[in-house]
Every structure is written in structure tokens, then in C-alpha cells.
Structure 1
Amino acid sequence: MLGLIKLYTVPRYRRMMKGIAKDAKKRGLTTSDYMRTLGSSDLARYLVPPIKPMDVERFGLPPDAKITTKPLLPKPVRDAKVAHAAGNWQPGADLLAGIGKDWDRRSSVVSLLGEVAADDDTALKAWRAARPDDADAAAVHADALTNVAWQIRSARQAKYVSAEQFRGFQRVLDEADEASQTAAELAPDDPTPWATRCMIAMGRQYGHDEFRTVWDGVLARDPLHVHAHARALQYWCDKWFGTNDLMWTFAEEGAAKHPKLAWLPLAAAFEASFAGVKDAWRDKRVEAALDRLLPWLDGEGRDAPDTPNSRAFAARALVELRRGTEAVEQFRHLGRSASGRVWSYSGYGASHEFRTHRNRACRLAK
């Protein structure tokens, strides 16, 4: 009974208990008896807040059933990913060779292949055996090892990570660091290994001066590198090794460089809001960032590799600012893709978060 009383003191659990009580009554059972029939997945279902029905198709948006959390990739990238997962490294190698020094696009493909290789490195091993000094294979190898390390650690707070996990995490990070240095030596002009090293630096708990040394390596090769800025913003968050002020400073400095980085203050507002900062989305820096970002998304940046992620941040910011018509327009561009980072923090899942804010946008647009 005491446990039930505690549940009722928390709004989200109170909602869960009301839902359970309602369903128990339908079945002619007491709440306690009905709860004994429920597994953990059943209880989780009751915790998810309902999404108010909305006819999103009236606004030219795809129905809920078609929403996917998987990135909607261009065909050449999708084909390379599928081939890599099947053990064939050649399409990925050809794709990277064709990209050349388009650093943002190169980094996005390296990250994608690195994620695949972290789960199954068959193709990567064959690639490195066939071309031992291939800089592209080395960059994917470093990224893959970094992914493996973070898989071992998990995304949970440090207090929930076991000592054994931490030991495995640090051991693989050491390998990743060595691999990233090798990749950097094979392609001295390439910022991609340095962007990978930003993630390694977080895992190895670099101090500010150490991290800035890595960051200087990125800036020397590409001062506008999108993926590196995304990773560095995490470092400067209060939840990692920075503060709210340091995060905002970094975001503003990045946004001032180029419109394609104007999503950074939106990401800062999101992180601050997630950390409990009241009215973070109402910060004047958010509107200023949108003024720079939105024209770029509709023009030069329409087909940039990280545009879907930037649009997702823009859509969320516009909803929070109650600019519904503009938010709906961003959701039209996003289509059925709920793969943006801004949706991924929710304990209810990215699809639920995406649909919730999309519905809010439509209600505001009415």
C-alpha cells in the first residue's frame, strides 16, 4: 500500500495508476489483482502520456503509422550502409573516395559506417586487410572503436555504470584514441579523426585545456565542421565537463561563424531545458539563431547532410515559441523522419516525442 501511495505523489505515476485502475474495473478486477497480471512492458505502456488526436494529414503531414526513427538516407549512402552491413566494404570505400574534401558529408558517412562496424566489423576488417594504409578505412575504424566503447559504457548516468563496464570502456577508448591518431596521420588535412577524438576526450574525461588542444586540431582543418561542433557542445554542457554559461558561449560563437551552425543555440536551449532551466526556449538567443538558420535551411543548406537534424531543432524551437505555422512547415520538410537528436532524449521514445510536438505545431497553426 505504501508503494501505491508513493506512486500517487508523482504526476506521471498517478496517471499510470489511474489508467490501470480504469482497465482493472473493465475486467472486473481490483487494481492490485490486475497489477499482478502485468509485466514490466505493460506497466511502461501506462507511463507513456497519451497524444491528443490530431488530423495531421490536413496539414500535408504523413500519418503517425509512417513515422520512422531511422535516418532517411540518400540512395548512395543507404546502399553503402546496406552493403557494409552485409560484409561488402567496396561501396562505402567508393562513396568516401567520391566525397573527397566535403568534410561534413565525409564525416556523416564515416559515422554511419562506423556505427555499422561497431555491430559487425566483417566489412571493415576486409577493407583494412585489402588496403592497410587507406585513410578512409582508418577513419571508420577509429569511429567504430569509439562507438564500441560507448556501447560498453552505455548512456546511463555514471552512478549506474558498473566498474567492469568502466574498465572495458577505458580499454576500448585507448584503442580508439590510437586508431584516431593513426587516421589523422594518414590524412593530415582531414578533420574527421579529430571530430572522433572529441568523443574520445569526453570519455577520457579531458580537462578544459586538454580538450581545447583537440578542438584546435578540428579548427585548424575545418572551423565550420558540423559533427565536431555537435560533439563539442556536449562536452561543454553542465552534465559533462562544462557549465550552462560555457555551453551557451560555445553555441553563440559557433552560430556567429556560419548559418549552418545556427542550430547550436537551439541545442543549447534544449540541453538547458532538459536540465531544468526554466524558460530556456524563451531565451532571446533562440530567436536570433532561428533568424539565421531558417533562411539557410530553405536555401543553400536545403540538401546539406545534417539539415534534417537542424530542421528538427528548428521545429522544436518554433513549437516552444508558439510559432505553429512555421513549425508545421519544418515538419513538412522532415516528413516521416523522427531521427533528429532533439527527439532522442525522451524516455517515451523518439517517435512519441516527434508526434507529440508535431501535434502541438498543428494545434498552434489552427
Structure 2
Amino acid sequence: MPAPVAPLRTPDFDPLAAFPEARALRDAAKAHDWWTVDAGLARFTDPAVYLDALRGVARVTDRGFVEQVFAHNPTSAPAGTLLAWRLVEDGWAIRTGGWARHVSAEQWKGFHEHLHRAEQILIEVTARHPGYASGWVERLHTARGLSLGQAEARRRYDAVMKVAPRLHQAQAAMVQQLCPKWSGSYEAMHRFAVDCTKASPPGSVNGAVVADAHIEHWLLLDRDDGEQAAATYLRRPEVQQELLWAAGHSVLNPACRPAVGWVEAHSSFAMAFSLAENYPAAAAHFNALYAHGNLAAESPWDYLGDGPTEFVAHRDRAFQNGFRR
């Protein structure tokens, strides 16, 4: 008889699980210790690492504390960006993630009020600190939410690239901007994702934007044409080939080492392959996460419902139908 398979452990969905250096800053933010947060952020010289740490802090800070910090430090780039991030998150909570036709006039009003204030703060941040990549990345989010258009979003993206070439968080934001639901096109979105991947070093996380683009394409097809049409799209041979190429260039490349964005990159590829029922390909990404601390990300699984629940269900299905190390 075959040996019994050990049950899978519960994944770790902590966004900073693979980033212990930022955990201390998050703890300091919870304790309202701005001095430790500010000093700790200053030690991160890699823009991708810095932005991930900043967002980790932002997720646990309450609005009142950030307002106080900004009031006492009005020219501080991290203080301003933290408040802007909080405003954008709170604005989206008012709007909700529903399709535009389901958002009420009152929700739109609250959403825009929050984003307009965030935009004004970020304008000041990037004017005082033009080389501050995190401020420019967050301005990509306000540009999209305020529907400022493709040309303005591209201007902000170019500003990021001048100070932080190939910053993957900015590229992920541009994939969103370029998708049809934000006045872009499928062609522009996919071309951008492929170009980013080709320009990135082997083993980098940038290739995940290809998976992000195909997931956005799937999402819109699911809304407009139904579940079957969306699934059929992801199963197209050319789509699967492009996903396999991007994965092989990035997180499945022998040169890849776990780094900021690595968990989210595997998560995006795993979802794109899972929805196409390409279980062996999906399992390769779930295996990588399981083997390196049993890590997991809620995004983009939250497109399907509860992120952790969907991740576990698709992981288990992939392991049953693909392979498990």
C-alpha cells in the first residue's frame, strides 16, 4: 500500500511573512512609535523593499495616528505617503470593489473626496521629493481612481522608472491602468506586460505582470460573457504558452531567489494556471510557496471570493491533480 500523504499545513497569509525586517516596523506602528518607523524605513535602500515595508506599516496604522504624524511632519515623504495610502484604502472601502454600475452616488462622492485629498498630499510629496519612488507609485493609484487618463498615468509611471527602473509594484499598477475597465485595451495591457518581462533580468518577479494581465482579461470576460467564455480564454494554447514562458523567465527560473513580491508573483501564476485547469503548472507554484515556509497571498484569489479560502481550495485541487513534492 502507498504511504499515507501528510496533511497540508495551514498557509501563512501574513504579507510580511517573508520579510522579517519589516515586522519590527509594523509592531512599532501598532504601538504608535513613529520615530522607530521613520528610522527603520530610512534603512531600506531598495525601492521595492522600501515600498513593501511602507505598505506593511500602512496596513496596521489607524487613521487618527497617521493624521497626527502628518500634522507634526507635513514635509515628511513617508508620513505624507502613509496618510495618502490610508485615504485611498478608506476611499475604496466606501466605494467597494463592485463594478461601477453597482456603486451609488453617495459612495462615489465619498470615494472621490478621499482620493482627491490623497492626490493633493502626494503632489506635495513628489514636488518636495521628486526621487521618492513610493510617492509616485501611489500617484498611479490615485490617477486610476480619479480617472485622470492613460497619458497622465504614463507620465507618472515614467517618473517612477527614472528613479526606480523596473520597479515591479509600479508595473503591476500600470497593468491595472491599461486594462479595459480603466479605459485601456487588452492589446495595450498584454503588450506592456510582455515588454516588462522581456526587459527584466532572469529570475526577477516582474514576469508576474503577464499573469496579472491574463487574470484581468479573464475577470472582464467572466463579467461580460460568462464563466465558460472566461475559462476558455485562459485555456487557449497561446495564453498558456505565454504564461509558461513568463513563469520560466521569472519565479521558476533557476536564477530566482525569494525576494519582495516573490510570494505574490507565484500566487498570480498559480491562479492563472488553476483557472485554466492546468494543474501541473499551477502545482509548481504552489509547491514553491509550500517549500519556502508555506507562504501564501490573498491576492488575486480575492477576485473569486474569500482569498484564503480560495487559495487553499485551488492549492489542494492542484496537488490532487498535478503533483506535490
Q: State how far apart, in whole Å, the 2-side matches of 1:239 and 1:57 are.
A: 43
Q: State how far apart, in whole Å, the 2-side matches of 1:213 and 1:56 are.
A: 53
How far the C-alpha of 1:215 sits from its partner, in A, is 2.0
1:315–1:331 CA contact under 8 A, matched in 2? no
Match of 2:27 among 72, 82, 95: 82
Aligned to 1:71: 15
Aligned to 2:6: 57
2:84–2:119 CA contact under 8 A, matched in 1? yes
Q: In 2 relative to 1, CA 339–329 (structure 1 residues): closer, same or farther, beyond 3 Å?
A: closer
Q: State how far apart, in whole Å, the 2-side matches of 1:83 and 1:212 are.
A: 35
Q: Secondary structure at the match of 1:294?
A: coil
Summarize deviations over 1:102-161 as a string: whole Å, max 9, x none: 1001111222223333xx134324433443322221222222222222222111111221
1:255–1:262 CA contact under 8 A, matched in 2? yes
Q: In 2 relative to 1, CA 312–333 (structure 1 residues): closer, same or farther, beyond 3 Å?
A: farther
1:104 and 2:59 are equivalent in the alignment: no
Summarize deviations over 1:229-284 as a string: whole Å, max 9, x none: 11111111122221222211111111112132111111112222233342325412
Structure 1, unaligned stretches of length 5 or more? Answer: 1-54
Moved more, 74-83 or 307-316: 74-83
Identity of aligned residues (%): 24
Q: State how far apart, in whole Å, the 2-side matches of 1:223 and 1:56 are.
A: 45
1:240 and 2:182 are equivalent in the alignment: yes
Moved more, 331-340 or 192-201: 331-340
1:269 and 2:214 are equivalent in the alignment: yes
Equivalences for residues 169-248 of structure 1 within 5 A? 169-248=111-190
Q: Which amino acid aligns with 2:268?
A: F
Q: Which amino acid aligns with 1:113?
A: V
How far the C-alpha of 1:336 sits from its partner, in A, is 4.1
Aligned to 1:301: 257
Structure with the greater alpha carbon radius of gyration: 1
Q: State how far apart, in whole Å, the 1-side matches of 2:47 and 2:81 are.
A: 12
Match of 1:343 among 292, 301, 324: 301
How far the C-alpha of 1:328 sits from its partner, in A, is 4.5
Q: Which amino acid aligns with 1:315?
A: A
Q: State how far apart, in whole Å, the 2-side matches of 1:268 and 1:56 are.
A: 35
Q: Which amino acid aligns with 1:332?
A: Y
Q: Which amino acid aligns with 1:287?
A: L
Q: In 2 relative to 1, CA 323–184 (structure 1 residues): closer, same or farther, beyond 3 Å?
A: same
Aligned to 1:252: 194
How far the C-alpha of 1:163 sits from its partner, in A, is 0.9
How far the C-alpha of 1:172 sits from its partner, in A, is 1.6
Q: In 2 relative to 1, CA 93–305 (structure 1 residues): closer, same or farther, beyond 3 Å?
A: same
Q: State how far apart, in whole Å, the 1-side matches of 2:268 and 2:6 are.
A: 22
Q: State how far apart, in whole Å, the 2-side matches of 1:239 and 1:132 are.
A: 35
Match of 1:323 among 276, 280, 299: 280
Structure 2, unaligned stretches of length 5 or more? Answer: 222-229
What is the TM-score of this pair, normalised by structure 1? Answer: 0.75
Root mean square deviation, CA, Å: 2.4
Q: Which amino acid aligns with 2:158?
A: D
1:143–1:196 CA contact under 8 A, matched in 2? yes
Summarize deviations over 1:265-309 as a string: whole Å, max 9, x none: 11112222233342325412111101101345x54531x211110
Q: Secondary structure at the match of 1:93?
A: helix
Aligned to 2:311: 354
Match of 1:113 among 57, 82, 96: 57
Q: In 2 relative to 1, CA 318–138 (structure 1 residues): closer, same or farther, beyond 3 Å?
A: same
How far the C-alpha of 1:87 sits from its partner, in A, is 2.1
Q: Which amino acid aligns with 2:178?
A: W
2:81–2:135 CA contact under 8 A, matched in 1? yes
2:251–2:262 CA contact under 8 A, matched in 1? no
